[in-house]
Structure 1
Amino acid sequence: MLRISSRDERCVREFQTMHSSAKEKGFGRIFRSPSFFEDAVKSLLLCNCGALCELQPEIALVNGSAHLKRKRSKQKPSSSNSSECIQNFPSWKELVAWTRVNATYLEKRCNLGYRAASILQLATMFAQGKLVEDNITKIEQSSDPTAFETLYQNLLEIKGFGPFVCSNIMMCVGFYQRIPSDTETVRHLKQVYGKENCSIYTIAKDIVEVYGKYNPYQCLAYWMELVEEYESKSGKLSELDASSYHLVTGSLFRDKGVKRIVDHA
């Protein structure tokens, strides 16, 4: 989660060597989730992750005592009160072990829409061995771009996991060459770099022109700029009240006539 491996240290040093501003600000690490599965699901949902966390105690009670180790208290929970369990993010093992779960139930229970089926497909790929946590860890620790590319292509096979989602996931595992591009990226390039003709059709070329010099850390450079932009409007993000989280992103710039439309594809 804290990106303190030897590989992460090397990436930070290399990035800060080519980006003097990043070195001055101490920027070079992107906080991530405790597991790849959680990173992947959050990259898909972007929001509404709380609904899955609220579901986890219910899953734990049904699946049995093996999953109740997540509890804060040593006292055994009452089967009628799932709120006694920590509302943690469910693992892929918990989802596939819970026989009650199917796409329709998950969609209605957590209001996830079509993404419910995508989440279950991802969990099933782990269960079937098509995705292996140990292998992903080895990829994260390697410097082989072909290994990252293979993982990226495997993720693209999941319905609902388009280039934007998969590029976010690759950023989480430490592959920074693919910038997750959506209308927020277009907005940023227009306002910060004066690329008025930038669109979803030209974004790939525009990204190369602006961030190519930071290869293979293009995504780190992009995110540093976004954070600086957001903090110039909302203040220090680490000090922002949780009730204001939804205001951060392109909504901060609507006063300039730019509308934020998230492109999950």
Structure 2
Amino acid sequence: MAPNKWISSTKSLQRPLRLMDQCKSVMVTISHPSGQPNIHIYVHDMEVLSLEDKQIILAQVSRMLRLTDEDEKMVTEFQELYSHAKKEGFGRIFRSPSIFEDSVKSLLLCHTTWQRTLDMAKSLCELQLLFTRSTRKKPLGKTNLQNNEIENFPNSKEVLEIGETNMKKHGFTLYRSSIGCVGDKVLIKVKDAEKSEEWAGPNDPTPLLTLVSKLGLNVHHRKQEQFSFIHQ
């Protein structure tokens, strides 16, 4: 479902992730090469990433793949109850980078066909880019333009900026379009919730960060899990 894209030839997942300012996004490819103990995160079209941007990307990937200590505990408990899961190596359910995206996508699944759900998710990503362009206050340089021309799933602020009227124009039914027309108090709660551990995962899901070079970051997790973080 948009903006996720599974590339079967390389067994990798490609999608945009947000940087620290929550306005700009970068395209990343996530893979786990056969025979290697580490997860690879490749950041496209970026010459430099700040440590803060690296950490927020890692936090999003950790949430998507359920790599936090709490997730590990739940997987272990599940596999103890269901030995076949442990034998086959499964037990984690894929998530979005934020609980807001998960929640909206759950709404898109209700009372419709799977294809219609896919179409609506894609439409929201297109609307996000459209309204990101329309709210720019000044011209962007070449590098910034490239970084901002990425369709991403809208966050709560962007959904509200899109608004109910525009969502209806793009084919959303009444109760789905209403996600862009909540009151100020609800918006405040959504914003606060997105910042909480329940919504975004622990603030520091990567206990040991080792800067290896200007090319990236290795993050060592409990039980020998490791990220290889590479950008270009």
Report the TM-score range of the alignment, normalised by the length of the smaller protein: 0.3 to 0.5
Greater Rg by CA: 1
Structure of greater relative contact order (alpha carbons < 8 Å, 6+ residues apart): 2
- Which structure's residues are more often helix, by fraction? 1
Question: TM-score, normalised to structure 1's length?
Answer: 0.41
Normalized per residue, the structure richer in strand is 2
